[in-house]
Amino acid sequence: MKPLMVSTIVVTSMSAAILGQKAFAAQDAVSSPEDAITKGSVSFDMSIGYFIRKFDDPGVDDAEALTGGGIVKYETAPYHQIKVGLAYYGSHNLGIVDRDKGAGTSFLQTDGEDIAFIGEGYVQVGTGNHQVKVGRQRLATPLMDDHNLRLLPSSYEAVVYRNKALENTSLEFGYVKRYSGFGSRFSGFESPDSVWGEDGLAYVYATSKVGIVDVRGQFIDMMDDTGSLKNVRYADLSVPIEVGTKSYVKAQYGGTSYQEADSALMLGLKAGTTVSTVDLALVYNTIRDGNFQAVEAGPMYTDWQQGYGPYQPSEALGTQVVFYPSSQSSVKLGYVDVNGIDGSRVDEFVESNIDARYKFTDVSSFRVRYSIKDQAFEDENGRYDRTDFRMYYYHLF
C-alpha cells in the first residue's frame, strides 16, 4: 500500500507472451544447430541508478547507492521450435558513494557487495499455441512477477507451460522451486523453504476476454506443509465505461491462507477516466482477518511500491494523476492514506509520490522518482518516516 515503484521502462517479450491474446510470435527458423547459435540475438538492457533513502529518526542510518549495470542477454535463433537463452545480471558500485551505505538499497547485496550472476538460463520449446520454458526465467503474473523495482528484476527457476489454443484466452501452468529474491539483491538463487516449503510451489494463471470485460485469475499452492504459506489466490476484472474518455472500473479479490495463522481477505476497486490529456484514477483496498501476502508481487491497486508484504488488516484510499507535458514525457502524482484496523500499526501511514519520465530516443530515457512516507506509529512495531529519491538512466543496445 505505497506509491508506484516499478523501476524499469522495458516491456519484455515474456510479458507480451504471457499477457497477450494472440498465438506466440513465430520467428524465422534456422536449418541447423550451428545457424541457431550464429544467428542468435544479443541484447544489452543497461542502466545507471541512484537511490537515497533518508529516515527522520537519527538512530536509523540512511541508505544510498550509485550503481551501473543491467542485463546482457543472448538467445539462439529457433531450431525445430527450440530456443536457448542466457542472461547476465549485474549491478556494480560506481565508486562515488561508499558501498557500505548501499546495503539497504537493494542496488547492491545486503553486505554492500556488487550483484553479479546468471539471472536467466532456459530452454524454450514451441511457438504457435503451445510453449514450454524450463530454467531461470522472468515471470509476469499478479502474484509472482519480476518485481523490477530497483536496478534488476527478480528471476525464477521454474518449469512453465503456456497455452493459447482457446480464443481470447491464455492459460499458464508453472512449478517454481527457487528464485533470485526481491530485486535480485542476493546475487544468486535461494530456496525460501520457510515460506514456500521444501518442495516449492505450483500455480495456474488464466486471462480471458468475455465480451468487453477482461478477467484474470491465479491460484498458487504450496507442494508441502513445511513452509508458512498454504495457498494464495487472486482474481480481477476490468470493465470499460462509455462515459467520458477511456473510462473504466476495475475490481479485485485476493486471499492468503497460512499453515498456522488466520487467512486474509483482500478486496479492491479502481475507477479512472481521462480529461483532455490528464489521466485520473481513484483506488481503494481493504484487508480483513489476517495478513495478506502475495508470493513476490504487489497486486493491490493502492500498493504503488508493489510488494512489501505481508500487509496487515487495513483500509486504503488513494488517487493517481498522470500528466503528459509532451509526447516524450510523463509525470505521475500519487497519494494514498492507509488506516490500520484490528490493531495494525505497521500499515498505518500517508504517502505521496512523483514519478517523472523523459524519453530521449527509442533506446534511451531518464526517470526521476520521489516519495514521502509519514508513518503513524514510529516504534518497534511500526516503520519510520522516510523519503526516497531515485534517478535512473536507461539505454538499450
Protein fold of 13-396: Porin (2.40.160)
166 CB neighbour count, 10 Å cutoff: 12
pLDDT in tens, the chain (397 residues): 333 332 333 333 333 333 334 566 556 778 888 888 999 999 999 999 999 999 887 778 889 999 999 999 999 999 999 999 999 999 999 989 999 898 888 899 988 999 999 999 999 999 779 999 999 999 999 999 998 888 999 999 999 999 999 999 999 999 999 999 888 888 889 999 999 999 999 999 999 999 999 999 999 999 999 999 999 999 999 999 998 899 999 999 999 999 999 999 999 999 999 999 999 999 999 999 999 999 988 899 998 655 567 889 999 999 999 999 999 999 999 999 999 998 888 888 899 999 999 999 999 999 999 999 998 887 766 678 889 999 999 999 8
Question: Distance between CA 356 and CA 225 in Å, rounded?
Answer: 44
56 CB neighbour count, 10 Å cutoff: 13
In the numeric block, the cell 508458512 is attached to 228
DSSP letter assigned to residue 225? S
CB 314 within 8 A of CB 347: yes
Evaluated on CA atoms 362, 247, 304, 157, the torsion sign reads negative
Provide the residue type at 320 as one letter.
Answer: Q
152 CB neighbour count, 10 Å cutoff: 31
Question: For residue 286, what is its C-alpha cell?
Answer: 481493504
Question: For residue 297, what is its C-alpha cell?
Answer: 508481487
Backbone torsions φ then ψ of 20, nearest 5 degrees: -70, 165
* Residue 395 burial (C-beta neighbours within 10 Å; 0-12, 13-18, 19+): middle
Please write down the HEC assignment for all residues of 106-161.
Answer: CCCCCCCCCEEEEEEEEEEECCCCEEEEEEEECCECCCEECCCCCCCCCCEEEEEE
pTM score, whole prediction:
0.87
